[in-house]
């Protein structure tokens, strides 16, 4: 059979199939399935819809701009009526200015209240917009298999809702704290609800619409969601958020010991049952809280204030969320005999110093977020322009930068006309002063069109000139 014959048969078969499909589509509609299982599934669907509807107004896209103008995006959510949003430290740590964009389109400047690299959490604040905060639930009550909903702004998309279950709890990935070279505090919730880049800082909610975790990380071989998402539990996040809001940093308590996990073999070697819970103290300095209270190396610490100590990470987390100066009762086994000690906790030093970041007020530079300098007559002659100002400094994330204007650009006209001047001193005249005042006094909703001569830079970022062709930028003033 020739190639032509095979193609002809294929077309004939396609025509027959097409007719069959057309007839099938023209037939009677399939009856709706009436089954109790379908009704129950629809009830769950309604629960997901209710959670999404309630949470949506309180979740924002967080956009940060670095000194070089690079954009970093993530998610965050309102946690109180004062305008505090909880997000991840890695979303805000490199940013000099921050914006919070809500699902209704409102964009609000945000300021950094405090950040904690050792839990990868941060608090930012906006002017309160009257939107309700999301309620918190205790993550200690979570069970594997429980339904959860993730809300955020992944991969540059608008607000997105995904659904899954709790896959595991108490996961540790050893990734938190690396930005400051310290071992962080981890107790991740694992979920198969789709989490991608940009979801960081968004809420993980139960079916009552309560926050149970802060989405923070993924494990992936593809670069996208492989069904392995991780959230910081509210048992940790709520404590850190309170510390950051009230103090601007997290103040942590300290026992002053080195320790290791207790294995079944170690437990038996010390005359205890194989399933004994606790940690083995490997070094105790008598100058520090535990040592001054009488604890010794090779004691097995099994509980704090009656709460069992499961492993090293559990002990670190328990102590870190206590106030320095608090007196606690610790239970230890020494020579296979149980003993109790009272320990007064001290404040951890060195590792928890407040992280200081260079930031720019998002409201700096007026409505546009620019600082302007007048061009001299010689520069204007060389450019062949009548009037002009230089954008000497640009606030990332403000309207000028968002519209494409860069530091070093020249504004040479407005609305098709040369710039005017305002009086400066006794006999001075300034285009920059006039333009700034014009922008600041214009009515909201005014659209201003700028004629711009773009800055030209070399490979090292050094300004070498300006484009001879004008670029036009229109900005609607808010």
3-state SS record for 160-182: EEEEEEEEEEEECCCCCCHHHCC
- Burial of 275: CB neighbours in 10 Å, binned 0-12, 13-18, 19+: exposed
**Interatomic CA distance for residues 152 and 193, integer angstroms:** 12
Residue 392 appears among annotated catalytic residues: no
Residue 468 appears among annotated catalytic residues: no
Catalytic-role residue among 116, 120, 299, 374: 120
Judge whether 279 and 268 are in contact, CB under 8 Å: no
String of b and e for 20-34 (b: at least 16 CB within 10 Å)?
eeeeeeeeeeeeeee
Look at the block and give the residue holding tokens 């399933």.
Answer: 275
Catalytic-role residue among 58, 75, 167, 200: 200
Catalytic-role residue among 90, 225, 314, 466: 90
Phi, psi dihedral angles at 197 (to 5 degrees): -60, 135
| Neighbouring residues of 412: CB distance < 8 A, sequence distance ≥ 6 | 383, 385, 386, 387, 388, 418, 419, 451, 452, 453, 470
Residue 120 appears among annotated catalytic residues: yes
How would you classify residue 248: left for phi > 0, otherwise alpha for psi between -120 and 50, otherwise beta? left
Query: Which of the residues are catalytic?
Result: 90, 120, 200
């Amino acid at each position: 059979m020739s190639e032509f014959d095979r193609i002809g048969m294929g077309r004939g078969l396609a025509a027959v199939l097409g007719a069959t499909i057309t007839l099938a589509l023209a037939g009677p509609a399939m009856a709706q399935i009436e089954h109790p299982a379908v009704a129950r599934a629809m009830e769950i669907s309604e629960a997901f819809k209710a959670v999404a509807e309630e949470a949506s107004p309180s979740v924002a896209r967080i956009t940060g701009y670095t000194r070089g103008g690079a954009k970093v995006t993530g998610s965050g959510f309102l946690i109180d009526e004062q305008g505090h949003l909880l997000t991840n430290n890695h979303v805000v740590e490199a940013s000099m200015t921050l914006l919070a964009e809500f699902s209704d389109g409102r964009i609000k400047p945000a300021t950094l209240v405090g950040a904690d690299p050792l839990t990868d959490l941060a608090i930012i604040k906006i002017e309160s917009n009257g939107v309700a905060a999301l309620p918190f639930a205790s993550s200690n009550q979570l069970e594997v298999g429980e339904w959860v909903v993730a809300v955020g702004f992944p991969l540059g998309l608008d607000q997105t809702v995904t659904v899954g279950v709790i896959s595991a709890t108490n996961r540790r990935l050893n990734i938190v704290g690396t930005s400051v070279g310290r071992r962080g505090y981890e107790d991740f919730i694992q979920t198969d609800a789709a989490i991608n880049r940009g979801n960081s800082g968004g809420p993980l909610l139960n079916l009552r619409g309560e926050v149970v975790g802060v989405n923070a990380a993924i494990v992936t071989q593809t670069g996208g969601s492989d069904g392995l998402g991780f959230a910081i539990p509210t048992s940790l996040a709520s404590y850190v958020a309170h510390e950051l809001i009230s103090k601007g940093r997290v103040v942590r308590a300290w026992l002053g010991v080195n320790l290791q996990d207790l294995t079944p073999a170690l437990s038996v070697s010390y005359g205890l049952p194989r399933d004994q819970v606790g940690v083995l103290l490997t070094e105790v300095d008598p100058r520090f809280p535990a040592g001054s209270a009488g604890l010794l190396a090779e004691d097995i610490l099994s509980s704090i204030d009656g709460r069992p100590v499961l492993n090293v990470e559990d002990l670190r987390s328990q102590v870190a969320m206590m106030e320095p100066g608090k007196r606690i009762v610790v239970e230890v086994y020494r020579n296979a005999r149980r003993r109790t000690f009272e320990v007064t906790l001290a404040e951890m030093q060195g590792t928890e110093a407040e992280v200081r970041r260079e930031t720019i007020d998002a409201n700096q530079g007026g409505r546009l977020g620019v600082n302007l300098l007048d061009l001299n007559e010689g520069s204007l002659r060389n450019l062949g322009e009548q009037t002009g100002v230089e954008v000497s400094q640009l606030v990332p994330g403000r309207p000028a930068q968002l519209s494409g204007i860069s530091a070093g650009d020249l504004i040479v006209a407005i609305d098709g006309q040369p710039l005017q001047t305002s009086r400066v001193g006794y006999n001075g005249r300034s285009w920059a002063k006039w333009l700034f005042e014009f922008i600041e006094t214009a009515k909201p909703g005014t659209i201003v069109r700028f004629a711009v001569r773009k800055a030209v830079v070399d490979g090292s970022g050094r300004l070498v000139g300006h484009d001879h062709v004008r670029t036009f930028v229109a900005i609607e003033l808010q």
